[in-house]
Amino acid sequence: MGPVHKKHAAIIGSGIGGLAASIRLAAKGYKVSVFEQANQTGGKISQIHHKGFRFDRGPSLLTLPHLIDELFSLGGENPGDHFKYSRLELSCKYFWEDGAIITAWQDDELFANEVGSQCDVKPFQLAKFFRKSKQLYDLTAEPFLFNSIHKASNYRSKKFIKTIMNSYKLDSFITMHSRNKRWFKDYRIVQLFDRYATYNGSDPYRTPATLNIIAHLEHSEGTWFPDKGIYDIAASLTGLAKRMGVEFHMGSKVSEVIHSNGTVKGIRINNEFIPALLVVNNTDVSLLYKDLMPTVRMPRKLERAERSTSALIFYWGIKKSEPRLKLHNILFSKDYREEFRHLFGTQTIYDDPTVYIYISSRAVADDAPAGSENWYVMINAPVNGGQDWDALIAEARKNIVAKINRMLEVDIEKEIIFEKSADPVTIEKETGSIGGSLYGTSSNSMFAAFNRHPNFRKPLKNLYFTGGSVHPGGGIPLCLASAKIIDNEIEPCR
């Protein structure tokens, strides 16, 4: 690797949290090195190319894009010169087995009219729901999402005190589903808003209604899409980091985090010790304790925590265009409760799963050959616990195809000219996520936020944590927030 700078910061993993941390530390004057075992950056946000088709492999919905802009500003660049994105006119198109279809327009009036035409829901009911969602976001965002909840001094801040004083408004003692049923009588709109629990791999029948903040983010703050597709987030941030002097070491698997007397000293790769003033872990935090720091005990809360869901994904090259679909689409299960009972109870896949179809070529024409489409077809799946995945995948694929054919009135099997898949086993192998869980631990309890691993541990000086397996959670905005939190804790180079 060559001579090491005395203010060297080593980052393990180049997921979104690691990339954001590298930029923030470079802006503070550190000499930053990122060590990534894969051959491309982005972690779960990677891509696939095949004969004219391009697929985003990871998350496909962008909220709070100003968190990305902020990183370019830290690097002294104009964000619009390097990363372009546009606000979507609609966030998703929803389908039900009874024939109901709702297009989730971003315009409040259009959305209210759309819901009213399909469900017994009045515009004022939606308006009240979104006002409550905004209140939840305003009370929780600054103290809980963009600051550490594991630092005592933060509890004395004005915003945290305000949140505590208004804790009765946080809906933490009622589940998302129970609260949504009180807001709305129509099962379809309840199911639509219950779905937001899956944005961090959780169960709406168990997760606190506080997570209804996601409805505010998607419908009020807005949903966005990068002009070049979701992978461009990782590609653009990698480019920015490199221009700021960050060094990337691809195909470099860290074998150990070196520490003594409660202080981290550096990392080891292929028997080579690489000293570092500080180390940032962007891998699954459980994997860190298991493989890289086996002499350090994993926090008991983390040992007992329930993992989030994983996913079963099919990447299909489709030789036609399906006019009924948009960029983001959901084909709902008839029995949502039963679907989650399978995911978290029996650890299997329900025979009528909710199907998500994302077609990036609707926004990026070059992502598929002319007249064709690239379908990212995903269902939630339980984490890998040694199930018979060959049997589960074969049965799930059959049920997915049947559901698409039934609800869209097509014969989709005849249109598939390319197929690749991902499942909990391959996700675990390729990303290091324990059990293939997409978001670390679930949020299936009112204490879940406090049980997440902190962004630093006092007994281990100079070690910091980013990414979806630690506070504040999974998904692009929260991974970016985790890097912002450690930025608040690390002193600039002098």
Closest CA to 467 of 18, 3, 6, 7: 18
Distance separating the N- and C-terminal Cα atoms of the chain: 24
Please give the CATH architecture assigned to the domain spanning 8-45+69-84+229-305+452-489.
3-Layer(bba) Sandwich (3.50)
Q: How far apart are CA 227 and CA 32, in angstroms?
A: 29
Rounded-to-integer distance, Cα 445 and Cα 172, Å? 9
Decide: 125 and 159 in contact? Cβ < 8 Å: no
- Which runs of E-coded beta strand occur in 181-309? 224-226, 247-250, 256-260, 263-269, 272-275, 278-281
CA distance 79 to 71: 8
- Spell out the residues 6+ positions from residue 55 whose beta carbon is closer than 8 angstroms to its own: 47, 48, 315, 360, 367, 374, 376, 420
Going by C-alpha positions, the residue among 350, 316, 322 that lies closest to residue 93 is 322
- Given a contact cutoff of 8 angstroms between Cβ atoms, the answer to whether 406 and 418 are in contact is no
Q: Spell out the domain ranges in the chain.
A: 8-45+69-84+229-305+452-489, 112-222, 306-431
Residues of the chain scoring pLDDT < 70: 1-5, 494
SS3 173: coil
The pLDDT of residue 3 is 43
| Buried b / exposed e along 443-475 (16+ C-beta atoms within 10 A) | bbbbebbebbbbbbeeebebbbbbbbbbbbbbb
Which are the contacts of 88, defined by CB distance < 8 A and separation ≥ 6? 106, 222, 223, 224, 225, 327
8-state DSSP, 414: G
Which DSSP string corresponds to 106-146?
A: SSHHHHHHHHHHHSS--HHHHHHHHHHHHHHHHHHIIIIIS
Q: Which residues are 47's β-sheet partners?
A: 56
Give the separation between CA 281 and CA 150, rounded to whole angstroms.
17
Q: What is the pLDDT of residues 218-238, one digit of tens each?
A: 999 999 999 999 999 999 999
Which residue in 314, 415, 421 sits closest to 373, CA to CA? 415
Q: How far is it, in rounded angstroms, from Cα 366 to Cα 370?
A: 8
Q: Is the dihedral of CA 466, 39, 427, 233 positive or negative?
A: positive
Residue identified by tokens 């909220």 is 63
Q: CA 298 to CA 320: how far, in whole Å?
A: 50
Cis peptide before 472 (omega within 30 of 0): yes
Interatomic CA distance for residues 483 and 467, integer angstroms: 8
The one-letter amino acid at 232: D
With CA atoms as reference, report the closest residue to 222 among 214, 233, 230: 214
How far, in Å, CA of 65 to CA of 397, rounded?
34
Distance between CA 119 and CA 94 in Å, rounded? 13
**Global pTM value:** 0.94
Among 402, 474, 414, smallest CA distance to 438 is for 474
Torsion from C-alpha of 315, 214, 146, 305, nearest 10 degrees: -70
Task: With beta carbons less than 8 A apart as the criterion, state whether 321 and 450 touch.
Answer: no
Q: What is the pLDDT of residue 447?
A: 82
Q: Report the pLDDT value the prediction gives residue 2, as an integer from 0 to 100.
A: 45
Half-sphere exposure of 134 (CA within 13 A, CB side): 10
Residue 188 three-state SS: helix
Q: Rounded to the nearest 5 degrees, what angle is found at the Cα of 204, between the Cα atoms of 122 and 234?
A: 100
Q: Given this model, what pLDDT does residue 210 score? A: 95
